[in-house]
Amino acid sequence: MPYKSFEEYSDDVTDNVKNKYQEIITDLGEDTSRDGLLKTPERAAKAMQFLTQGYDQDPVEILKGAMFKESYNEMVIVKDIELYSLCEHHILPFFGKVHIAYIPNGQIVGLSKLPRIVDVFARRLQVQERLTQQILDCINDTLNPQGVAVVIEASHMCMMMRGVQKQNSTTTTSGFRGQFEKIETRNEFLKLIGK
């Protein structure tokens, strides 16, 4: 389905996930009848549905819903797109910024659609490498531009809060197609996003 702001929750899923959260919280040694935790399992169940709503959305339809014929054939950049996702290995957040560029080939897309497809792919259990590839491929395959570039810079709570506990580390991933495989075009893009 096209992009939507998800604030509706399946009662069946909410009840099922809520019960599992209640068991987890109890297994960790907490008292779920304690005042502060009474509604936590339900809130957590709804939060997980919100944070994984991307499974029910179609990024291709989002892009196709705002494609326009246009002769413009220079670089288009949307940078510093906020990113929030869940690492599939520990179900902990990772967050940062996405920078996207494309060179049209007879069609442009509404600018707000690029952040929307970032959200669709980010609101799934993810790894940053796959997320980069999915955004890149979706734009490339749907718009058929002369080139696409995607750079993601993110901090991962699974590295910051646990494990190696490196609070200042960031991870950068990138992908390039078409004209952005040429060093001159790639360097222009990287310069324009401040890298």
CA distances, 15 to each of 5, 9, 25, 35, 52 (Å): 21, 10, 15, 20, 16
Residue 7's pLDDT is what? 67
Does position 54 have pLDDT exceeding 80, yes or no?
yes
Q: Which of 11-15, 64-68, 176-180 has the weakest average pLDDT?
A: 11-15
The single-letter DSSP state of residue 191 is H
Model pLDDT for residues 82-130, shown as the tens digit of each residue:
999 999 999 999 999 999 999 999 999 999 999 999 999 999 999 999 9
Give the pLDDT mean for 163-167.
Answer: 83
Residue positions annotated with a catalytic role: 87-90, 128, 156, 158
Model pLDDT for residues 7-29, shown as the tens digit of each residue:
678 899 999 999 999 999 999 99
Model pLDDT for residues 26-36, shown as the tens digit of each residue:
999 999 999 99
pTM of this prediction? Answer: 0.92
Residue 179's pLDDT is what? 98
90 is in an annotated binding site: yes
158 is in an annotated binding site: yes
Residue 4's pLDDT is what? 52
> Exposed e or buried b for every residue in 158-190, given b needs 16+ CB within 10 A?
bbbeeeeeeeeeeeebbbbbbbbeeeebbebbb
| Better-scored residue on pLDDT, 33 or 5 | 33
Model pLDDT for residues 123-152, shown as the tens digit of each residue:
999 999 999 999 999 999 999 999 999 999
Q: Which domains does the chain possess?
A: 11-51 (1.10.286.10), 60-193 (3.30.1130.10)
87 is in an annotated binding site: yes
